[in-house]
């Protein structure tokens, strides 16, 4: 979760009201933050804010927190409105950037008066949005420039690697290739463009370089100070909607500092767009849905009041709330997201807990008891239980397993015995390593083995865990399935050794099974099979292909199997 420092006096200047430190601890909750720490420095009180929502980049700065609190306290109501003035500034986007970093959106903010704290917040927001929301600049990279040093029109173009400019923090010109090797940001983010035939460059009409997205700004135009009055904001990436949202977050934060937003015309080879676009977004929610789930008595007008305090434009009609919400938000996907805002405005601490009036007797879930009994059985075979993360990534689930499901999902459906086999991907992951939910467990066991190659063999592992599969028939469009996976690693391991354990497990559960040979790229040809119970394929068994072992850095042979547990669940069990 994003963490950042904010000054108490700066927040109160933005809100227009003072509060005690104790009051601030509660006020942060309106902005989905917690106060992690408080300290005094040079006579100024600072807070460390810990944001609890990775989908609300508009709350990752003093401006966003202050704005949210002003509305939550009723000091302002309804949809925030920002005027956008037109300008004659144009940015031309080079067609050669199509497969390098294709999109850029831009804005001008004039009339700023930035002190050191405001400057720090601007830089903090820029970095936090690019790091977290932008997946470490892969999806979103942001540049802010002194517009008075820029001569429009501006060109976002593909540049030869031998071109030169002075990067921020340096005093000498470097080639674009040298920047990737010598500059700190080049070494950190160079992998994003290093293998491209050209590098992206943002230049003005006089040839002055603004930046080398997504790496570094130039020293000449990219150093913003307290003397800067007018800024040019640049956001680049691969998804036009995503970078537009990031632009909206930055320019509206600067507008909270008194800046005037001006638009920029962006000319692509095949279309044009005017940015930023602060057109409000729309949503509709049933009032009864909110009333039934809040746990408190609320009238229609009270719901309207609470929503207006969370920056919604609200119109009540036919038992529904027709909503407008700000263009710097992109987190409203379900009625429960609106419900959450209602409860934040109401105050979670104001809700009185009630004891259930039903006489109930608790007991363990039967299927969970079945899973626990199965774990005991596997330990009885001399296997070591491991518990790995449900979160993973496409490389681990597909590429390292010799599968091309990412590009050709239809080819993978048979391998997992549960169509479709596409991964459930996370839109804004904190790390690319944890960017999806797994569809099978064997890669997790191989990952574990790859990290324990220094340990003694044999290594005999099992896991009873969850796989998440796409299911369009369900409200959440996914289903979480319980699975058993086993991996055996030692110099003489064979298909037969894994099959002996599979035989015993299925026998103990009161079933019989058949094996049907299958060609599966993750396994050695001729040594892989589908596990079929009562005519239904429920799993796969085989010896891991040498190429897969090499991908994981495992030097021992591995035999493994994996199966769904629901088809094997009956009472009594074991």
Give me the CATH code for the 283-347 domain, please.
3.30.56.10
Position of tokens 């009472």? 571
Residues of the chain with CATH 3.30.930.10: 366-568
Per residue in 111-155, pLDDT (tens digit) is 999 999 999 999 999 999 998 888 889 899 999 999 999 999 999
Question: Residues near 8 by Cβ (< 8 Å), separated by ≥ 6?
Answer: 21, 24, 44, 45, 46, 47
Model-wide pTM > 0.85: no
On whether the CB atoms of residues 482 and 539 are closer than 8 A, the answer is no
Half-sphere exposure (Cβ direction) of 386: Cα atoms closer than 13 Å: 22
Residues of the chain with CATH 3.50.40.10: 84-275
Is 84-275 a domain of CATH 3.40.1160.10? no
Give me the CATH code for the 3-72 domain, please.
3.30.56.10
pLDDT for the residue 296: 87
Residues of the chain with CATH 3.30.56.10: 3-72, 283-347
Return the higher-pLDDT residue of 571 and 537. Answer: 537
Q: Band the pLDDT of 420: cuts 50, 70, 90.
A: very low
CA distance 81 to 87: 19
Q: Residue 206 CB: number of other CB atoms within 10 A?
A: 7
Question: Residues near 542 by Cβ (< 8 Å), separated by ≥ 6?
Answer: 495, 498, 520, 522, 523, 524, 527, 528, 529, 559, 560, 561
Q: Is 172 helix (H, G, I), strand (E, B) or coil?
A: coil
CA distance 69 to 28: 8
CATH classification of 366-568, choosing from 3.30.930.10, 3.40.50.2300, 3.40.50.150, 3.40.50.300? 3.30.930.10
pLDDT for the residue 310: 95
Give the mean pLDDT of 391-410.
79
The candidate with the shortest Cα–Cα distance to 275, out of 234, 239, 238, is 234
pLDDT for the residue 573: 60
Give the mean pLDDT of 165-170.
92
Give the mean pLDDT of 529-543.
93
Q: What is the mean pLDDT of the chain?
A: 91
Half-sphere exposure (Cβ direction) of 339: Cα atoms closer than 13 Å: 16
Return the higher-pLDDT residue of 48 and 52. Answer: 48
Give the mean pLDDT of 424-440.
82
Give the chain's radius of gyration (CA, Å).
28
Q: Peptide bond preceding 420: is omega within 30 degrees of 0, i.e. cis?
A: yes
Give the mean pLDDT of 489-509.
95
Per residue in 235-255, pLDDT (tens digit) is 999 999 999 999 999 999 999
Give the mean pLDDT of 335-362.
86
Question: Residues near 73 by Cβ (< 8 Å), separated by ≥ 6?
Answer: 30, 309
Give the mean pLDDT of 539-566.
95
Long-range contacts of 19-23 (CB under 8 A, 24+ apart): 21/45
Q: Band the pLDDT of 478: cuts 50, 70, 90.
A: confident
Give the mean pLDDT of 8-36.
91
Of 273-287, 370-384, 510-524, 559-573, give the lowest mean pLDDT range: 559-573
């Amino acid at each position: 979760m994003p963490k950042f420092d904010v000054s108490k006096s700066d927040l109160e200047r933005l809100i227009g009201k003072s509060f005690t430190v104790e009051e601030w601890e509660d006020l942060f909750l309106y902005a989905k933050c917690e106060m992690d720490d408080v300290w005094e420095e040079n006579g100024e009180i600072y807070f460390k804010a810990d944001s609890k929502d990775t989908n609300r980049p508009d709350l990752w700065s003093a401006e966003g927190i202050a704005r949210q609190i002003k509305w939550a306290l009723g000091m302002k109501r309804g949809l925030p409105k920002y005027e956008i003035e037109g300008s004659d500034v144009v940015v031309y986007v080079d067609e050669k950037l199509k497969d390098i970093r294709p999109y850029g959106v831009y804005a001008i903010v004039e009339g700023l008066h930035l002190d050191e704290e405001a400057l720090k917040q601007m830089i903090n927001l820029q970095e936090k949005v690019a790091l977290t929301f932008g997946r470490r600049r892969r999806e979103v990279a942001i540049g802010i420039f002194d517009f008075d040093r820029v001569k429009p029109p501006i060109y976002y173009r593909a540049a030869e690697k031998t071109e030169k400019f002075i990067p921020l923090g340096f005093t000498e010109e470097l080639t674009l290739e040298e920047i990737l090797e010598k500059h700190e940001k080049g070494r950190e983010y160079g992998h994003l463009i290093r293998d491209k035939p050209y590098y992206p460059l943002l230049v003005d009409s006089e040839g002055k370089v603004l930046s080398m997205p997504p790496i570094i700004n130039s020293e000449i135009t990219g150093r913003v100070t307290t003397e800067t009055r007018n800024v040019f904001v640049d956001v680049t990436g691969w998804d036009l909607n995503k970078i537009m949202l990031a632009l909206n977050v930055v320019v509206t934060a600067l507008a909270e500092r008194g800046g005037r937003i001006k638009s920029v015309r962006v000319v692509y080879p095949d279309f044009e767009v005017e940015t930023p676009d602060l057109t409000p977004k729309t949503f509709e929610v049933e009032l009864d849905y909110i009333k039934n789930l809040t746990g408190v008595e609320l009238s229609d007008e009270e719901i309207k009041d609470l929503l207006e305090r969370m920056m919604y434009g609200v119109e009540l009609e036919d038992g529904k709330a027709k909503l407008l919400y700000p263009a710097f938000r992109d987190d409203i996907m379900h009625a429960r997201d609106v419900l959450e805002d209602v409860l934040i405005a109401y105050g979670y601490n104001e809700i009185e807990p009630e004891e259930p009036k039903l006489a109930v007797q608790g007991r363990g879930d039967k299927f969970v008891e079945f899973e626990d009994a199965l774990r005991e059985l596997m330990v009885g075979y001399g296997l070591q239980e491991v518990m790995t993360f449900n979160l993973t990534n496409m490389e681990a689930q597909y590429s390292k397993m010799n599968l091309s499901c990412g590009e050709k999902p239809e080819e993978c459906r048979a391998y997992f015995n549960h169509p479709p086999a596409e991964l459930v991907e996370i839109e804004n992951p904190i790390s690319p390593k944890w960017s999806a939910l797994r569809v099978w467990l064997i890669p997790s066991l191989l990952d574990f083995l790859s990290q324990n190659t220094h340990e003694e063999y044999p290594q005999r592992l099992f896991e009873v865990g969850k796989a998440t599969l796409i299911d369009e028939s369900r409200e959440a469009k996914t289903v979480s399935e319980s699975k058993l996976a086993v991996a055996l690693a030692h110099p003489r391991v064979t298909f037969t050794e894994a099959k002996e354990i599979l035989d015993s497990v299925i026998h103990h559960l009161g079933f019989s099974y058949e094996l049907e040979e299958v060609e599966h790229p993750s396994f050695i040809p001729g040594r892989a099979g589908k596990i079929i119970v009562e005519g239904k394929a429920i799993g796969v068994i085989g010896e891991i292909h040498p190429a897969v072992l090499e991908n994981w850095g495992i030097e021992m042979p591995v035999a493994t199997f994996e199966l769904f547990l629901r088809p094997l669940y009956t009472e009594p069990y074991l």
